[in-house]
C-alpha cells in the first residue's frame, strides 16, 4: 500500500485505528439520517449542522463502547500478528458497533412514542419481572421489519470497509515498538478526551445538546448509546405511583389554560433578575426591619410584591428549570442532570421566541458552569452570554467564580440596548455566591453581619442599584416589565428561615416591577418559581393550553400551593395556612404556617380528614410529575 501523507505524522497502527473509527462515525451518521427520515415531520426546523455537531456526542459514546478495542488494537507487544488475536479485535469492534447501531435504529421508530432518545430506563423496564417489554419488542420487530434489514446492510458495508482498511499495509509489519507505544499512550488520551466530549469544564451530558440546536433538534444531535451511558450511572429515583391516572386527577390535574391577564404588558420587554442567594431573610422589606438590601427594598416598595413567595429548591440548578420551564426539582438529582433532561421543554424562552422576542440568558460565570448555558438554550433561549463573551475579563474577573456583579450588570444594561425588537432577557447574578468575593474598593463598605455572605449581599444589592441607574437612561426602560427574584435561600440565623423542615427555608422575593408605576401593590397569594411560567404568559397577553405544574399567580379561581423535594427523601407542601411533610408513603407532619414555621405543634392527629386530603393531593402531584416525565408528555 502506498504511504499517505498521514504516515508523516502518525504511526501506521494509529492510522489504521483512525480509519476504522472513521467507519464507525460514518455508520452512526447513517443511523442519524435514518432517524431523521423516519421522523421528518417532527424535525421541521433542523440544520445540516445538526448532523455535524452530533459527531461530538458520537465520539463520547464511542469512547465508552470502543475503549477495549482501542487499547488492545494498539497494545505494543506484537500480538496483532496472530490470527486469533485479530479475531478477538474484530469481535471487540463489531459487537459494540452492532449494539450502537441497533440502539439508534430502534429509537428511529420508538422516538414517535416518547419524543426523546431512550435512556437506561429501557434496561430497567425489560429486566423487570412484571414487564411485558419482550412481547412488545416482538411486536415492534414485526411492525418495523425494515429496521433489521437496514442494520444488516450497514453492518455488511462496515465489515467490507473494515477488512479493506487493514489489507496489504506492509508498514504495520515494520512498525517499531517505540512508535506503537507512543500510539498506545495517545489512545488513552483519545478515550478520555472523547468520553468527556472535549476539554470543557465538565463532561458533556444530555442537556449539552441544547447548546448547538433548537429544543426540537436535540434528539437529532444526540444518539441513543450516549443517552444510555449518561443515565446508566445515575442513582435515579424510581417513579412513584399511588393511584390510577383517573383517580389521581381527582386530586390534581396538570391540565390548565393560561388566559390573558386584565393587567397587560403585551408587547413589552420582560427582564428576569435572578439574584444569587437573596433569601427573604436578608431583606428589610419582608422582615419590616433593617436588612442588607436597601436597593432591593426600595424597588419592592414600588413593585407588585408577593409576600408568600418560595423557590422550588435549594440549589441554583433547581431554580433555572423552575423559572424558565415551570419544572420543579422533585427528584434526588437536578432536572438538568437527570435522565429527563432531553425531554421536550416548551418554556418561556420558546414562548417568547415564537412571539417575535429576542431571547437572552446572561450569567457572568465560566461558560458551562452549573449547566446554565446548555439548559438555557435547550429551553429555547436564543443566546447565552457568559464569562467568555464578556469584553473585559482581565479587568473585572473576581479570581474565583466569574465577573463581579457591578461591571457585569452595567454590561447587561448596555447589551439590552442593542436589541432592535422586544426582548425577553434573564440575568443571573453571582457575587453573592461562595466564596463571596467583592472588589477591594468595596471592602468594609457594607454590613458584614454574622456570615460571610452578608457583605457580598450588600455589594450585590449595590450593583443592582447601579444597574437600575444605568437602565433608567435607556430608551427601553419604561417599556419593560422586571421580575425580581432569587434562586434560593442561604445561611440563616432567623429560626423562621433556618428550620430544616419548614417552608421558611424556601422563602425568596418574587415581585414584578413596572417602571411606569401603574402596577404595584401587595399580594398574599402563595407563589412559587414554577408559577412564573404561566404568570408571565398571562401578563404579556398570551393564551396557552396544556399541562403545567404551576399556575398563573393572578388567577384566583385555582388553588395556589408549593411542593418541594427536601433532598432528605421527603417532600414539603404548603397550601393555605398549613405546611406538611410527606415521606413518599404518608404524611408525617401538619403545621400551621407561618405561625408555627419552626414546627412545634404537630396537628396531624387533630385534623385527620384534612391530613388525608392533603396526602392525596401530594401523592397525585408527585405521580403526575413522574408519569409525564417518563412519557415525555408534560406539554401535550
pLDDT, tens digit, 9 for 90 and up, residues 464-475: 999 999 999 999
pLDDT, tens digit, 9 for 90 and up, residues 121-159: 666 545 544 444 455 566 667 778 899 999 999 999 999
Confidence band, pLDDT 50/70/90 cuts, at residue 9: low
**How far apart are alpha carbons 548 and 624 in whole angstroms?**
10
Q: Which three cell numbers stand for residue 157?
A: 458495508
Number of neighbouring beta carbons within 10 Å of residue 38: 19
Higher pLDDT, 588 or 42: 588
Q: According to the model, what pLDDT value does residue 128 have?
A: 47
Q: What is the mean pLDDT of residues 102-122?
A: 79
pLDDT, tens digit, 9 for 90 and up, residues 84-95: 988 999 999 999
Instruction: Give the phi and the psi of residue 111 in degrees, each rounded to 5.
Output: -55, -35
Higher pLDDT, 70 or 411: 411
**How far apart are alpha carbons 9 and 3 in whole angstroms?**
12
Q: What is the mean pLDDT of residues 273-283?
A: 96
**How far apart are alpha carbons 547 and 590 in whole angstroms?**
29
Contact 589, 581 (CB under 8 A): yes
Higher pLDDT, 349 or 115: 349
Please check the confidence at residue 177 and state whether its pLDDT lies above 80: no
Q: According to the model, what pLDDT value does residue 569 have?
A: 65
pTM: 0.77
In the chain, % of residues over pLDDT 70: 89
Q: Which three cell numbers stand for residue 28?
A: 452512526
Contact 118, 226 (CB under 8 A): no
Of 174-188, 385-399, 591-605, the one with minimum mean pLDDT is: 174-188
Q: What is the mean pLDDT of residues 352-370?
A: 93
Higher pLDDT, 206 or 242: 242
- DSSP 3-state assignment of 582? strand
**How far apart are alpha carbons 45 and 117 in whole angstroms?**
18
Q: Which three cell numbers stand for residue 87?
A: 479475531
Q: According to the model, what pLDDT value does residue 131 have?
A: 42
Reported as type and span, the H/E element at residue 32 is helix 12-38
SS (H, E, C) 176-219: CHHHHHHHHHHHHHHHHHHHHCCCCCCCCCHHHHHHCCCHHHHH
Contact 222, 43 (CB under 8 A): no
Please check the confidence at residue 636 and state whether its pLDDT lies above 70: no
CA 438: distance to chain centroid? 29
CA 168: distance to chain centroid? 50
Higher pLDDT, 562 or 233: 562
Instruction: Give the phi and the psi of residue 509 in degrees, each rounded to 5.
Output: -70, 140
Please check the confidence at residue 524 and state whether its pLDDT lies above 90: yes
**How far apart are alpha carbons 99 and 108 in whole angstroms?**
14
Closest CA to 80 of 4, 11, 161, 6: 11
Please check the confidence at residue 550 and state whether its pLDDT lies above 80: yes
Contact 579, 503 (CB under 8 A): yes
Q: What is the mean pLDDT of residues 389-398?
A: 95
Higher pLDDT, 450 or 481: 481
Contact 272, 483 (CB under 8 A): yes
Please check the confidence at residue 10 and state whether its pLDDT lies above 70: no
Q: According to the model, what pLDDT value does residue 215 have?
A: 61
Contact 471, 317 (CB under 8 A): no
Q: Which three cell numbers stand for residue 284?
A: 428589610
Reported as type and span, the H/E element at residue 360 is strand 358-363
**How far apart are alpha carbons 484 and 471 in whole angstroms?**
15
| Eight-state DSSP code of residue 403 | B
Confidence band, pLDDT 50/70/90 cuts, at residue 501: low
**How far apart are alpha carbons 71 and 188 in whole angstroms?**
7
Number of neighbouring beta carbons within 10 Å of residue 582: 22
- DSSP 3-state assignment of 395? helix
Chain mean pLDDT for the chain: 87
Of 382-396, 487-501, 579-593, the one with minimum mean pLDDT is: 487-501
- DSSP 3-state assignment of 57? helix
- DSSP 3-state assignment of 580? strand
Q: According to the model, what pLDDT value does residue 79 have?
A: 73
Confidence band, pLDDT 50/70/90 cuts, at residue 300: very high
Q: According to the model, what pLDDT value does residue 61 have?
A: 93
Residues 6+ apart with CB under 8 A from 346: 215, 325, 380, 546, 635
Reported as type and span, the H/E element at residue 428 is strand 423-428
Q: What dihedral do alpha carbons 264, 270, 276, 282 form, nearest 10°? A: -30
Q: According to the model, what pLDDT value does residue 3 have?
A: 52
**How far apart are alpha carbons 325 and 426 in whole angstroms?**
13
Angle between helices 532-539 and 316-325 (to 10 degrees): 40
Higher pLDDT, 96 or 175: 96
- Residue with the three cell numbers 467568555: 388
Higher pLDDT, 594 or 531: 531
**How far apart are alpha carbons 101 and 268 in whole angstroms?**
49
Instruction: Give the phi and the psi of residue 264 in degrees, each rounded to 5.
Output: -115, 130
Residues 6+ apart with CB under 8 A from 37: none
- Cβ neighbourhood burial of 596 (10 Å; 0-12, 13-18, 19+): middle
**How far apart are alpha carbons 551 and 546 in whole angstroms?**
12
- Cβ neighbourhood burial of 498 (10 Å; 0-12, 13-18, 19+): middle
Closest CA to 326 of 558, 22, 629, 95: 629
DSSP secondary structure, 256-305, as one string: EEE---SS--TT-EEEEEEETT--GGG-HHHHTS--S-HHHHHHHTTSEE
**How far apart are alpha carbons 559 and 20 in whole angstroms?**
60
In the chain, % of residues over pLDDT 90: 57
Higher pLDDT, 329 or 135: 329
Calculate Rg over the CA atoms of the chain: 28
Q: What is the biggest distance separating any 2 CA atoms in the chain, rounded to whole angstroms?
A: 89
Closest CA to 287 of 307, 273, 258: 307
What domains sit in the chain, N to C, each tagged with a CATH number? 5-232 (no CATH), 245-630 (3.40.720.10)
**How far apart are alpha carbons 358 and 346 in whole angstroms?**
16
**Bridging pattern class, strands 383-385 and 255-258:** unpaired
Q: What dihedral do alpha carbons 421, 424, 430, 432 form, nearest 10°? A: 120
Q: According to the model, what pLDDT value does residue 1 have?
A: 47
Amino acid at each position: 500500500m502506498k504511504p499517505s501523507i498521514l504516515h508523516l505524522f502518525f504511526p501506521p497502527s494509529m492510522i489504521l485505528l483512525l480509519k476504522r473509527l472513521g467507519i464507525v462515525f460514518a455508520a452512526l451518521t447513517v443511523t442519524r439520517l435514518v432517524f431523521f427520515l423516519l421522523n421528518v415531520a417532527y424535525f421541521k426546523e433542523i440544520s445540516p449542522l445538526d448532523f455535524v455537531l452530533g459527531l461530538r456526542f458520537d465520539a463520547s459514546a464511542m469512547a465508552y463502547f470502543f475503549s477495549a478495542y482501542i487499547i488492545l488494537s494498539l497494545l505494543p507487544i506484537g500480538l496483532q500478528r496472530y490470527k486469533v488475536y485479530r479475531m478477538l479485535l474484530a469481535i471487540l469492534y463489531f459487537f459494540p458497533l452492532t449494539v450502537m447501531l441497533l440502539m439508534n435504529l430502534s429509537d428511529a421508530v420508538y422516538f414517535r412514542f416518547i419524543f426523546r432518545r431512550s435512556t437506561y430506563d429501557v434496561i430497567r423496564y425489560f429486566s423487570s419481572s412484571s414487564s411485558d417489554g419482550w412481547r412488545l419488542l416482538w411486536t415492534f420487530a414485526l411492525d418495523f421489519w425494515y429496521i433489521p434489514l437496514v442494520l444488516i446492510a450497514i453492518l455488511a458495508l462496515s465489515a467490507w470497509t473494515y477488512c479493506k482498511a487493514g489489507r496489504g499495509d506492509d508498514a504495520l509489519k515494520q512498525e517499531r515498538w517505540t512508535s506503537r507505544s507512543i500510539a498506545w499512550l495517545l489512545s488513552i488520551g483519545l478515550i478520555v478526551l472523547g468520553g468527556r466530549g472535549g476539554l470543557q469544564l465538565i463532561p458533556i451530558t444530555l442537556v449539552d445538546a441544547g447548546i448547538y440546536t433548537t429544543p426540537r433538534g436535540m434528539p437529532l444531535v444526540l444518539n441513543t448509546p450516549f443517552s444510555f451511558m449518561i443515565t446508566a450511572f445515575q442513582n435515579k429515583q424510581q417513579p412513584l405511583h399511588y393511584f390510577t391516572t383517573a383517580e389521581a386527577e381527582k386530586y390534581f390535574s396538570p391540565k390548565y389554560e393560561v388566559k390573558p391577564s386584565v393587567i397587560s404588558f403585551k408587547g413589552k420587554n420582560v427582564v428576569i433578575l435572578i439574584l444569587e442567594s437573596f433569601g427573604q431573610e436578608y431583606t428589610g422589606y419582608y422582615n419590616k426591619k433593617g436588612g442588607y438590601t436597601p436597593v432591593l427594598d426600595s424597588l419592592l416598595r414600588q413593585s407588585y410584591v408577593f409576600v408568600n413567595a418560595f423557590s422550588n429548591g435549594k440549589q441554583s440548578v433547581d431554580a433555572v428549570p423552575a423559572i424558565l420551564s415551570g419544572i420543579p426539582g422533585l427528584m434526588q438529582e437536578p432536572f438538568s442532570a437527570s435522565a429527563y433532561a432531553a425531554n421536550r421543554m416548551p418554556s418561556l424562552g420558546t414562548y417568547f421566541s415564537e412571539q417575535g422576542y429576542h431571547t437572552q440568558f446572561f450569567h457572568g460565570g465560566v461558560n458551562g458552569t452549573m449547566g446554565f448555558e446548555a439548559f438555557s438554550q435547550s429551553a429555547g433561549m436564543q443566546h447565552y452570554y457568559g464569562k467568555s463573551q464578556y469584553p473585559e475579563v482581565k479587568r473585572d474577573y473576581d479570581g474565583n467564580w466569574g465577573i463581579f456583579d457591578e461591571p457585569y450588570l452595567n454590561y447587561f444594561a448596555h447589551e439590552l440596548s442593542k436589541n432592535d425588537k422586544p426582548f425577553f432577557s434573564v440575568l443571573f447574578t453571582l457575587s453573592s455566591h461562595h466564596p463571596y468575593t467583592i472588589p477591594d474598593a468595596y471592602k468594609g463598605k457594607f454590613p458584614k453581619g454574622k456570615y460571610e455572605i452578608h457583605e457580598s449581599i450588600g455589594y450585590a444589592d449595590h450593583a443592582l442599584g447601579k444597574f437600575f441607574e444605568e437602565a433608567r437612561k435607556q430608551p427601553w426602560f419604561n417599556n419593560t416589565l422586571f421580575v425580581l427574584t432569587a434562586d434560593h435561600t442561604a445561611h440563616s440565623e432567623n429560626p423562621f428561615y433556618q428550620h430544616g423542615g419548614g417552608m421558611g427555608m424556601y422563602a425568596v422575593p418574587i415581585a414584578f416591577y413596572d417602571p411606569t408605576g401603574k402596577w404595584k401593590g401587595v399580594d398574599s397569594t402563595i407563589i412559587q418559581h414554577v408559577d412564573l411560567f404561566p404568570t408571565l404568559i398571562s401578563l404579556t397577553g398570551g393564551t396557552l393550553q396544556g399541562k403545567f405544574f404551576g399556575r398563573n399567580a393572578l388567577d384566583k379561581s385555582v388553588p395556589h400551593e408549593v411542593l418541594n423535594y427536601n433532598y432528605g427523601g421527603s417532600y414539603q407542601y404548603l397550601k393555605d395556612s398549613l405546611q406538611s411533610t410527606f415521606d413518599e408513603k404518608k404524611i408525617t407532619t401538619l403545621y400551621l404556617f407561618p405561625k408555627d414555621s419552626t414546627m412545634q405543634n404537630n396537628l396531624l392527629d387533630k385534623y385527620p380528614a384534612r391530613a388525608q386530603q392533603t396526602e392525596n393531593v401530594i401523592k397525585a402531584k408527585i405521580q403526575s410529575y413522574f408519569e409525564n416525565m417518563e412519557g415525555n408528555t408534560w406539554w401535550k
